[in-house]
A and B are shown apart, each in its own frame.
Chain A
Amino acid sequence: MPKPHLALLAALAAAGVIARCSGLIDPYYLDVLTIIGINVILAVSLNLVNGYTGQFSLGHAGFMSVGAYLSAAVSLFLGPRLLGPDPSALGQGLFFLGALLAGGLAAAAAGWVVGIPSLRLRGDYLAIVTLAFGEIIRVVFQNVDALGGALGLNGIPPYTTIFWVLAFAALTIFTVTCLVHSTYGRGFLAVHDDEIAAAAVGLNPTRYKIVAFVVSAFFAGIAGGLYGHFRLTITPAGFDFTKSIEIVVMVILGGMGNTPGVILAAILLTLLPELLRPVAEYRMIIYSLLLIVLMILRPQGLFSLKLGRRKPAGD
């Protein structure tokens, strides 16, 4: 069995063990661990687009919201009918898995719809268009009364457990790593390095960008589903531009196209606000200063060890 698959199995087993012992862990730490897991999924999936493929998406929270809303709607509206009054643990688990996947697929579909027109654009324009789509998705959710309008959805069943979060975090890391290191996946790096050269050797840059976008949106949707069943209430305002920025900061801080770095950054940026609760109002100021100072002094990210391995796509 190849190494990554073993690692995935080990991670899943570890998730199972931690879930078994979750009764022993302080609930506060368990909550923090859950948020870390969700943020790792978000950051690692965004890294596929913003890091490996070299595009700049500012709409990740939009895809997250699609997944959150759809999976929450599935549990709220279909759950009582499918599960009956007192469901078995297995039935409930399978149902939750189905709801998460439905949310992920819906987000992937949204990614596809958004990606096809916008990925013909580059750089700044792509950033703005993804931002615009993220905002449009939010406005639409605000106006759909069946999904609670501006108040959002409440009373979502608390299905998210530490097992699901860790398992999906492992699965996200596994998928992105394997994808990027596969023969096919080298195309992402080629598109990142030089789109014209990639097209000249017969790769289709637009198609690579769309694949990256769809995969990344799928995992954002899963993360959204986990988030909704963890917080038990979701509102359109919770998935605004600031949320997207937060994920982008994780990717940039960790180093674009550097999965271990991005994981570390996601953990760090989840813990920091917990530690810095007394100075919570400075959080966004710290984030923004970090962005500026990093770009000027260390554009390859905080946790990048292999300096100068790949030159940035210059222009």
Chain B
Amino acid sequence: MSEFFQQSLNGLSLGAIYALIALGYTMVYGVLRFINFAHADVFMVGAFLGYYLAKLVPAASLWGGLAVMAGAMVGCALLGILIERLAYRPLRRGPTLNVLITAIGVSLLLEYSGQLGFGAAPRTFPVLFPQRDLRIGGLVISSTQVLVIVVAAALLLALQGIVHRTRIGTAMRALSLNATAAQLVGINTDVVISFTFGLGSALAAAGGILYAMNYPSIDPLMGVMPGLKAFVAAVLGGIGNIPGAALGGLILGLVETFVAGSPWSTYKDAIAFGVLIVILLCRPAGLLGKFTVEKV
């Protein structure tokens, strides 16, 4: 029984990270209707920014850790805005396929520039926050896991607040409903799209640091797998749907952790893709998405 709880806890903390990355995919899809492949690599850059910033603050201190996280989030937000401005904006009126190809290009560019700049060999992520393990019966709760879940939950709530309670959040929702109509009522779409990219990339950076705290080995290709899985999570919850992305992330994290603890563990990477294929076949709109009939 204690193993069940232990695995659930591991699954929840992994799922919380997937949820943070999935939000970026979902928000960009909501306003621009395309899959930002480079998002997974912004996640990687976030982890590396954390790695370098951590050298500037005292190790294993709460405020130092938070400062590193905030710094990485700001850095990645700027990176996200820059990517959108340079690579995606010139193609906004073009066919979707071209934007998709560009996104793959940006993703590869970040990965391989990372290999040149940061080096291809994995690095050990430093200890950012004070660590302590709590033992309850046979259950070991590490402070890192608790921190991951708490930070992710706080960021999710903050995001929900931004999207539903602020002017720019309202503009984001308007844009995702109907871009032309949003422009007609005076919304500056460029600003809103930049903001969306910044917000999504900041969440990815937070996800990257939390992931690196849980699995403290970072390399320039570390984003690929979590990125794909977070995308699956976004589709699972219904792409374009913010609570859906969180739900999908948690489900996927739990499923994966339980598979990893079973005799089928070597297939754990294939599971996520299996889930994706099943969901697209049975319920393409996702768990929380609304099914819309395509009009010709």
Which residues of A pack against B, CB within 8 Å? 54, 56, 117-118, 120-121, 123-125, 127-129, 131-133, 135-136, 139-140, 142-143, 196, 241, 245, 248, 252, 281-282, 284-285, 287-292, 295-296, 299, 312-315
Contacts and interface: CB of A to CB of B under 8 A. Distances in A.
A295 B98 contact: yes
B141 interface: no
A114 to B, nearest CB: 9
B153 interface: no
Contacts of B109: 285, 288-289, 292
Interface stretch (B42-50, B210-218, B250-258, B272-280): B272-280
Contacts of B280: 117-118, 121, 125, 129
A47 B142 CA distance: 51
Which among B97, B108, B235, B266 has the highest number of chain A CB atoms within 10 Å? B97
Nearest to A56: B97
Contacts of A315: 95-96
Contacts of B224: 241
Contacts of A120: 281
Interface stretch (B70-78, B99-107, B123-131, B200-208): B99-107
A31 to B, nearest CB: 25
A248 B105 CA distance: 11
Interface in B66-120: 87, 90-91, 94-102, 104-109, 111-113, 115-116
Contacts of A252: 101
Contacts of B121: none
B266 A142 contact: yes
Nearest to B296: A196
A136 B111 CA distance: 22
A120 B269 CA distance: 24
Contact of B270 (A117, A140, A296, A299): A140
A185 to B, nearest CB: 21
A261 to B, nearest CB: 16
A20 to B, nearest CB: 41
Given A299-B94, A315-B95, A117 B277 contact: yes
A192 B6 CA distance: 51
Given A54-B97, A295-B102, 19 more contacts: A120-B281, A123-B96, A123-B100, A124-B34, A124-B96, A125-B284, A132-B273, A133-B273, A135-B270, A136-B273, A136-B274, A140-B270, A284-B111, A288-B112, A289-B105, A290-B105, A291-B102, A292-B102, A296-B90
Interface string B216-255: 0000000010001001100100000000000000000000
Which among A118, A135, A196 has the highest number of chain B CB atoms within 10 Å? A135
Contacts of B269: 135, 139
A56 B37 CA distance: 14
B98 A299 contact: yes
B112 A295 contact: no
A282 B115 CA distance: 10
Nearest to B264: A143
Contact of A288 (B108, B273, B274): B108
B35 interface: yes
A251 B267 CA distance: 32
A295 B35 contact: no
B105 A136 contact: no
A131 B98 contact: no
A230 B60 CA distance: 53
A281 B116 contact: yes
Contact of B91 (A129, A248, A282, A296): A296
A139 B264 CA distance: 12
Contacts of A248: 101, 104
Contacts of A289: 105, 109
Which among B99, B100, B231 has the highest number of chain A CB atoms within 10 Å? B100
Given A131-B228, A143-B266, A285-B113, A296 B102 contact: yes
25 contacts: A118-B277, A125-B235, A127-B35, A128-B231, A128-B235, A129-B276, A133-B277, A136-B270, A136-B273, A139-B267, A139-B269, A139-B270, A241-B224, A245-B108, A252-B101, A281-B112, A284-B111, A285-B109, A285-B113, A288-B106, A291-B101, A295-B94, A295-B102, A296-B91, A312-B94
A132 B224 CA distance: 12
B273 A135 contact: yes
A284 to B, nearest CB: 4
A124 B240 CA distance: 14
Nearest to B105: A291
Contact of B276 (A128, A140, A281): A128
B274 to A, nearest CB: 7
Nearest to B94: A299
B296 A128 contact: no
Nearest to B276: A132
B105 A123 contact: no
